[in-house]
Structure 1
Amino acid sequence: MSSPEHKQKIWKLIKDIKVGMLVTNDHDMPRARPMHLVQEEYDGTLWFFTRRSAEKVFETRQDHDVCLSFSDQEDGVYVSLSGTASLNDNPDLIEKYWNPFVAAWFPKGKDDPDLTLMEIKIHMGEHWKANESKVYQLYEIAKANFKKNATPDMGENEKFGH
């Protein structure tokens, strides 16, 4: 688990990326697909709309453990989050997170019987954030190649959870 401050840090890193790759187990093989965030804040749980009939739903019923990865190469942000997935049909939550983007994918609306929310409770993760420009990063890589036993300083890296 992480502190409220750390949750805000994670949210600051992923909120503008919006799309994360959800990794599930498909018959013991990892499988990833893009998922679009629908929330405006993060408290340790991530929310995504999905179809109840989607393969990812069947995969998470077999194995609740999932991983989500977010990346923004331009800003040097990389986030990996691991947690457990479940479905949530709470109409208040569906109303809260409903938006025009979601409506485009679900033309039958909020009452579509195939519509559900995937709730992912995050247990652990890791993030990387480059603190400097690409030019500086290239300098750090070149410097590390010339010095023995040196590694480039590419910025911040932090693990949390288990």
Structure 2
Amino acid sequence: MSSPEHKQKIWQLIKKINTGMLTTHHGGELRARPMVLVQDEYDGTLWFYTDLESEKVLELEQDHDICLSFADPDSQTYVSLTGTGRATRDKKLIDKYWNSFVAAWFPQGKESPNVGMLEIKIKRGEHWDSSSSKMVNSIKTMKARLTGEQPELGEHEKFGTAGKN
């Protein structure tokens, strides 16, 4: 797993993006859908509201493995996280993260029989973060092509149980 400092770094990257694409297994296929962050900090677990009767919950019951990706092309920030997911009807968590955005999806409120949370435990991942503009990155890429070297386009790091670069 990653260090507390690295978890903070990942959180700083993904909280600005706010919406990630959650990929689950459906039979022999992969399915992705957008999910919005609801928490204020990250400790290795991400929480999302869900409809407990949704297909993603059924998919997670059959296969807990997930991939969650965040992308902000404007800032050239990309994060890919893998781990496991499960659904829960934990009332304390539902109360803790409830907000007006979530309420729009559950008109019956917190007491809706199908409101629940997805618990996503992150095992590993990687991120790419470039502070350079697209134009600067294009110039670096062209220079690298001419010199036969790889372009240095910013920070790229792997973390978690899969090991580091």
Q: What TM-score range do you get, normalising by the shorter chain?
A: over 0.9
Structure 1 counterpart of 2:126: 126
Give, in whole Å, the separation in 1 of the partners of 2:137 and 2:21. Answer: 26
| Superimposed CA distance per residue, residues 8-59 of structure 1 (whole angstroms, 9 cap, x where no aligned partner) | 0000000011100000001021111101111111010000000011000000
Structure 2 counterpart of 1:55: 55
Give, in whole Å, the separation in 2 of the partners of 1:69 and 1:129. Answer: 14
Q: How many angstroms does 1:111 deviate by?
A: 0.6
Give, in whole Å, the separation in 1 of the partners of 2:9 and 2:109. Answer: 33
Structure 1 counterpart of 2:153: 154
Deviation larger for 84-93 or 56-65: 84-93
Give, in whole Å, the separation in 2 of the partners of 1:37 and 1:11. Answer: 11
Measured on the aligned residues, the alpha-carbon RMSD in Å equals: 0.8
Give, in whole Å, the separation in 2 of the partners of 1:110 and 1:80. Answer: 31
Letter in 2 for 1:152: P
**DSSP 3-state at the match of 2:82:** strand
Query: In the TM superposition, what are the counterparts of 1:6-155 in structure 2 within 5 Å?
Result: 6-148=6-148, 150-155=149-154
Deviation larger for 10-19 or 84-93: 84-93
Unaligned runs of 5+ in 2: none
Letter in 2 for 1:154: L
Q: How many angstroms does 1:131 deviate by?
A: 2.7
**DSSP 3-state at the match of 1:35:** strand
Aligned residues: 161
Q: When the two structures are superposed, what TM-score results if normalisation uses the length of structure 2?
A: 0.95
Q: When the two structures are superposed, what TM-score results if normalisation uses the length of structure 1?
A: 0.97
**DSSP 3-state at the match of 1:16:** helix
Unaligned runs of 5+ in 1: none
Letter in 1 for 2:159: F
Letter in 2 for 1:140: K
Give, in whole Å, the separation in 2 of the partners of 1:160 and 1:82. Answer: 10
**DSSP 3-state at the match of 1:15:** helix
**DSSP 3-state at the match of 1:8:** helix
Q: How many angstroms does 1:137 deviate by?
A: 0.4
Structure 1 runs, 4 residues or longer, greater than 2 Å off:
none
Give, in whole Å, the separation in 1 of the partners of 2:98 and 2:82. Answer: 25
Give, in whole Å, the separation in 1 of the partners of 2:87 and 2:62. Answer: 13
Q: How many angstroms does 1:145 deviate by?
A: 1.6
